Structure 1
Amino acid sequence: MLNNGDAETGPCETDSNVMNPPGWTCNGEITQLAYNNTFIYSRVNTIPGTAPGGCLFYGQISGYTSMWQTIDLTNYADPSLIDTGTVEFNLSAWLGGFINQNDRAGVSVTFLNQANQTTGSVTNIGPVTDTDRGSVTSFLFRQATGFVPVGARSATVLVYIIRAAGNVNDGYVDNVNIFMYQ
């Protein structure tokens, strides 16, 4: 349902330049970074956790950065089926960071009705902190499930990355996914 949730569409940066991810609306500096990069001294090319492709989402130098997509749910499920309250969703991502820095990332989904007003509760996964990671550079898999709220017609998936220490925002995200099922 997401466009480029795996950071594999479009070019990946190998140095310190910003390459905003295709398919996402961005606020602040966020980039698709190659796992085998030179900018962060290859700190992410051996991360345990996700089986990486070529790239990941990276926070760059911003204190806070985010990106989002809004998905038309009616492209994936009949509105009358959504309105039965029986359609479920699964939101997942690999979230990580650098050693003992508490730079972190999280993902949320907000469902919207036909009038673009929030319906139901916002669902969050993450953030994954340095404590969660045992102060090791790594990704951890996070997911949440629930029911698509009655009346929902779209969903906004938000990825956010926060810098807590150091000169760069070492919050990492890969393989963001959302799907619906019954």
Structure 2
Amino acid sequence: MIKHTLGLALLAVAFGAQAQATPGSNLIVNGNAEAGVSGWTGFEGYSLFQSVDYGSNWVLPTQPGPLDRGSKMFTGLTAQAAGFQTLDLGALAGQSLHYELSGYLGGWAAQGDNALLYVSFLDAQDNEIGHAAIGPVTPAERGNQTGLFLRTASGQLPANTSALMFSLSMERLGGGDNDGYADNLSFVVSSVPEGGTLAYALAGLGLLGGLLRRRR
């Protein structure tokens, strides 16, 4: 679903981003659903997901999920639900940045309902020049358990990244409710020291060389 709605959301980037980019802090606004759906905008033609309390018809506090899960999580409202938010990197644009993407995603028992978090890396003309994603978590990966499970991704932002767009989608594949679940969504960037990549590579080669010498 993200591929079908990405173009529409890119049009919204021109209207301005929502927060300040600070290294070491979570750049996703309200990634834990505790403030309802504040910070998220619905895609045109799709309903926005909803923020619900743990328990009752949803994931119980005793079922798999983040230890610091708070009282709320995101889940779908209709068969296909999605929302996005954008962020201008400001002074960080053009810097060498490493990112850590993480979140808890899941679903209900053996149903295929799922959630996906997709991050677009945008240049100054709002063109997507790269992306990162976590999810979906399949029923088999969950062991057919109801709950949310940690997924992560990391890497380096493309050199010309000027802005970010975070897109969260839930899809119903069975049952009457959209039981794609998400909570504790996070995207953190940190500066890569000049020459850091080469230094890490050389250090790795040195370690490998030492291990090979020991084996001999």
- When normalised by structure 2's length, the TM-score is 0.71
Which one has a larger percent strand, Structure 1 or Structure 2? 1
| Corresponding residue for residue 115 of structure 2 | 105
| Corresponding residue for residue 34 of structure 1 | 53
| SS at 1:44 equivalent | coil
Is 1:53 the counterpart of 2:62? The answer is no
Compare CA radii of gyration and give the structure with the larger one: 2
Whole-Å separation in 1 of the counterparts to 2:65 and 2:149:
6
Amino acid at match of 2:114: R
Is 1:147 the counterpart of 2:156? The answer is yes
| Corresponding residue for residue 95 of structure 1 | 105
Which of residues 133, 151, 155 in structure 2 aligns to 1:124? Answer: 133
What are the superposed Cα offsets for residues 97-127 of structure 1, whole Å, 9 maximum, x if unpaired? 11111100111110111111112x2211110
Amino acid at match of 1:33: V
* Two-structure CA RMSD over aligned residues (Å): 1.4
Gaps of 5+ in 1: 11-20
Once the two structures are TM-superposed, the CA of residue 64 in structure 1 deviates from its matched residue by 1.3
Whole-Å separation in 2 of the counterparts to 1:90 and 1:124:
11
- When normalised by structure 1's length, the TM-score is 0.83
Identity of aligned residues (%): 31
| SS at 2:90 equivalent | helix
Amino acid at match of 1:4: N
Contact 2:48 2:83 in 1 (8 A): no
Once the two structures are TM-superposed, the CA of residue 176 in structure 1 deviates from its matched residue by 0.7
Once the two structures are TM-superposed, the CA of residue 29 in structure 1 deviates from its matched residue by 4.1
Amino acid at match of 2:103: A
Once the two structures are TM-superposed, the CA of residue 9 in structure 1 deviates from its matched residue by 1.4
Whole-Å separation in 2 of the counterparts to 1:92 and 1:23:
18
Which one has a larger percent helix, Structure 1 or Structure 2? 2
Whole-Å separation in 2 of the counterparts to 1:144 and 1:58:
22
Whole-Å separation in 1 of the counterparts to 2:64 and 2:28:
24
Whole-Å separation in 1 of the counterparts to 2:39 and 2:88:
14
| SS at 2:128 equivalent | coil
| SS at 2:148 equivalent | strand
